[in-house]
Amino acid sequence: MLKQKMALLLAAVMLAGAVSGCSNSQQGGEVSADSGASAQSEGSSQAENQEPVTIKFVGYANSAAGFEARAEEFMSQRSDIKVEVQGIPANSWGELMQAISVNIAGGDVPDIADIASEGQRSFAASGIIIPIDEYLERDKEEMKETLDEIDPALMETMKYDGKTYCLPTVWNNILLYYNKNVLERFNIPEPESGWTIDDFIEICQTVTSENDGTNDVYGYAFGNAYFNTIVPWMIVSGGNVLNDDWTESRLTDPDTLAGVQLLYDFVYKYNISPKIDAGVADLDLFVQDKLAFMSAGMWQVNALKNANFPVDDYDVVDLPIVKEDKAVIGVGGAPIFAASEHQDVAWEFAKFLSSKDFQDTFIVEDGWSIPAVKSAADTLAAKDFAPAHADLFYASAQKGVMVPAPQEYGAIESVLLREFGAAMANMKTMEEAMAAAEEEINAEIAKRG
C-alpha cells in the first residue's frame, strides 16, 4: 500500500520541485486562546453527527493523483476530516495563482493549496493566505521533532513582512549534472565543489567536438528558463534579478550582466553550447553521451532513471564559482487561505504534509524534489537510484538564495525570458536586453503603490 501511495505522490511534489488576511474563524491569522482544541473539537462534534469536516485542497491538475494519495493517507489517520482535492489546469505557477484568484472571486474558496515560492509571496502580499506564526507557537512542542529537522534557511523562505505563511514541504535547487562517460573519454577528472568558472570552461572546451560543422559532443546545454538557467548563473556571478527586498531590478548591475553574458558567451565565444533555439534537449544529449553538463534540480534524477541511464554513469556538483559560492533555491508549501471557514482544520493537514513521520515514510521514490525534513532528504540521497553526491542537494540550503518571486513574479518572468531570448538570438545585445527588461520590471513593481 505504501509503495502504491508513494508512486502516486511523484507528480505532487514537483518544485519543487526555485515559488495574509482574515476569515470568519480568525483575524489576520491569529489563534484564539482556546483554539488549540478547536480543530479537534470541531472534528469531534462532526464525528458525533457522522459528518466529517470537509476542507478543499487545490493544486495543479496534472498532480491530482499525488494530491489524492496524500489526502487518503491523512484521512486514514483523521476520520473526522475529509480532504477534497481539486486539480486546476495550469502551465505555470502564475497561471495557477490567477485561476485560484478567479475561483475565489467567484465564491469557490479553497482552504489550503500546494503553492511554490513563485506564488506564496504574491498571495501573502495580497492578503489571500494567512500567517501561521501563532499556530507554530501553539503547537511548537508537538512539532518539535519536525521543526528541528527543517533547515532554518528553508523556514526563512516562507516569510513575508516578518511573518511565516506556511511550512515548507519540498524544495529544489539547481546543480550541474555531469556525464562520467564523456569526461572519462577525454581523461578528465570529475569536478569537485569549489571549482571555478575557468575550470568549467576548460573542461567544456576539451570535450566539445565537431564533425563536418556539427557538434558531436557539447560541453554544456541550456534553455531559456528562469529557475533552471538564468537565475543560477546570475547568482554565482554575484548578481540577481532583483535587489534583496525585491523592490527594484538589478538586471543592469555589472555582476548580473556578467552572469547572463556568460551564458551568451558559452554559445558564441567559447562554442561549448548549442543555441537555445537549436531544438536539442539537454537530457536527450546527456543520455546519448553527447553532453558533459546540464543544469537541473533533483527532478532530473527521476528523468534519468526513467530514461534508463545508469546512476553510476553520472553525478552532480555545485555550479562553478564565478564570483560567489551560492545556489538558487525554490520552496514549496501548503498555505491556508484567508477566506477559509475551516482554517484550524486546514492547519492539521498542513502539519501532516510537513511532518517528519509523513516525509520519512513517503519519500519521493524516484526523486522529484528534496524533502524539507533532513532525515527524509538523507534517506532519499541514500537510495540506489540517487547519484553518489546527492547529499549536495540538501547541503546547498546553507548557501541558498531564494529565487526572486515577488507578487509581480508572473510579469517579471515573462519579461526576462522574452528579453534574454532576444539577446540569445542576436536581436539585441545582452546589455540592451537587460536594460529593456529592467525598465518594464521596475514599472511593474511601481504599481504596488
Domains of the chain, by residue range, sit at 2-172+330-395, 175-329+405-446
- The whole-angstrom separation of Cα 235 and Cα 233 is 5
Successive 10-residue mean pLDDT values, the chain, 449 residues: 35 34 34 44 50 94 83 94 94 80 91 87 89 97 93 89 93 97 97 98 91 74 94 98 95 99 98 88 96 95 94 98 96 95 97 85 66 90 92 91 88 95 98 99 91
Say if CB 88 and CB 60 are below 8 A apart. yes
Beta bridge partners of 429: none
What is residue 1's predicted lDDT score, i.e. its pLDDT? 38
Say if CB 390 and CB 376 are below 8 A apart. no
The half-sphere exposure of 202 on its side-chain side, counting CA atoms within 13 A, is 10
What CATH class has 2-172+330-395?
alpha beta
DSSP structural state of residue 88: E
Note the CATH architecture for domain 175-329+405-446.
Answer: 3-Layer(aba) Sandwich (3.40)
> In this structure, what C-alpha cell is assigned to residue 228?
533552471
What is residue 360's predicted lDDT score, i.e. its pLDDT? 74
What is residue 418's predicted lDDT score, i.e. its pLDDT? 97
- The whole-angstrom separation of Cα 141 and Cα 128 is 28
What is residue 133's predicted lDDT score, i.e. its pLDDT? 97
What is residue 4's predicted lDDT score, i.e. its pLDDT? 37
Q: Which helix (H) or strand (E) holds 289?
A: none
What is residue 2's predicted lDDT score, i.e. its pLDDT? 34
Instruction: Evaluate whether 2-172+330-395 and 175-329+405-446 have a shared fold.
Output: yes
